[in-house]
Amino acid sequence: MNLTEALVPETDGGAPLVPVVGAGGKKTALYALANLLDRAVVTATVRIPIFDEHVARVVVTDDPAAAVESAGPEDWPLGVVPEREGDRYRGYEPDAVNALAERDLDAVLVKADGARMREFKAPGEDEPRLPDGADAVLAIASVQVVGHPLTAEYVHRPERVAALTDRDVGDTVRAEDVAAVLADPAGGRKNVPDDATVIPVLNKVDDDDWERTARTVARGVHERADVPYVALTRLNRGELVATV
């Protein structure tokens, strides 16, 4: 199994619709997958940093489906967004993203929440913004948050993580804390449509020590939630380390 096989599901019809949530590699996942596939679209339901350098072309449009239909061979992977705001693009309403999955594509890859470049997070009250046609939701965390303090320096919304794990802000993040948040219906599984598969992704598994830690997290996820597997990745290299 390679990275795309692990993270982009096969579908009976239409393009796989794959929102990505969490922290510690979310945008890297979008761009890595997009560039490993022949015909992939990158988009968002929330604000997303300017990403023109990561795709062949970005189209700013109120009609993303038309942009996909008119794309030429040189335009893949294609980014579609509705508007630019300073150093970011705005995201579409989830229904507009649902419509993209009806096109002839290898995948529609969607940034569906924010994390302010942190290693780990729990979702806010109004997120994630998931299309109801999602096939798989990638819930990402950096394994390298383990051992760091549960503070805003490393964790987005540390108080929400603390509430889900029965810890205090400032405590050291443990492997079991990462597992608990990824598996929680108010954490990595929040707002996931009934028909979608949750695939937890532990990123930055950069050496054997981090792989051992990641496997501990993965076991904790399986103890708490019914997921097909946990993917261990080095997304900055486009690599799948293992599925657990």
| Helix, strand, coil percentages in the chain from 3-state DSSP, rounded to 5 | 30, 25, 45
pLDDT digits (tens, 9 = 90+) for 200-216: 999 999 999 999 999 99
pLDDT tier at 12, thresholds 50, 70, 90: confident
What is the total count of domains within the chain?
1
Domain that holds residue 179: 3-243
Answer yes or no: are the C-beta atoms of 97 and 16 closer than 8 Å.
no
Q: pTM for the whole thing?
A: 0.97
User: What does the pLDDT read at residue 13?
Assistant: 83
Question: Which CATH number does the domain housing residue 53 bear?
Answer: 3.40.50
pLDDT average, residue stretch 179-194:
98
Q: What is the number of alpha carbons within 13 Å of residue 187 lying toward its C-beta?
A: 30
